[in-house]
Amino acid sequence: MINKVHTGSKRLFDLLLSLVLLPILIIPIIALILLATIDTKEWGIFSQNRIGKNGKPFKIFKIRTLKNEPHILGHLDKSATQLGKWIRRYKFDELPQLFNVLKGDMSFVGPRPDVKGFADELEGDDRIILRIRPGVTGPATIKYKNEEEILALQDDPEKYNRTIIWKDKVEINKKYIENWSFYLDLKYIINSIFK
């Protein structure tokens, strides 16, 4: 299980990896911001309040991919631009979260940060998820990499998300925290890049 010592080493790893990646990714991030600005006719960076460590809200940064806000679950085809769909397909919209990691709001690996009404309402043992920083990727993120496609097939995407996907994510993230190791974090990062 992740303890204070592990949390410190995890944070150090996040900082070091961020500093290595920043010079490599800064130009692609700027290019994506400019393209998204032209494509959506709005500022190419999208920010939204998410629930972080200890239930504290923070602003997550993403490349803007939608022409209509707010996005309705299961209706990505109606909301995203053609460029936006391509960006989301390859998860390039998540690249600005490098700055969330640098700030200390997020880790490279951990439970994905949700909007209010999910993680902040966890009870009992499930609240273990709030003990660590949310992640850019993680085991639940990898399992549900096609989440939008799954939701698009449902009659009631919102209900399916809350009663099936969210509950499964909670269990996956609890197991991640209980069995955490540096090796597992590396594995999830590599899987996220190549899958």
Pick the closest to residue 51 from 128, 124, 111, 140 (CA basis). 111
- Tens-of-pLDDT digits for all 195 residues of the chain? 777 657 889 999 999 999 999 999 999 999 999 999 999 999 999 999 999 999 999 999 999 999 866 667 766 777 899 999 999 999 999 999 999 999 999 999 999 999 999 999 999 999 999 999 999 999 999 999 999 999 989 999 999 999 999 999 999 999 999 999 999 999 999 999 887
Q: What is the pLDDT of residue 67?
A: 84
- pTM higher than the cut 0.75: yes
Which pLDDT score, from 0 to 100, does residue 178 have? 94
Given this model, what pLDDT does residue 68 score? 67
| Contact (CB, 8 A) for 91 and 128 | no
Specify the amino acid at residue 172: I
Domain spans of the chain?
Answer: 4-194
pLDDT score recorded for residue 2: 74
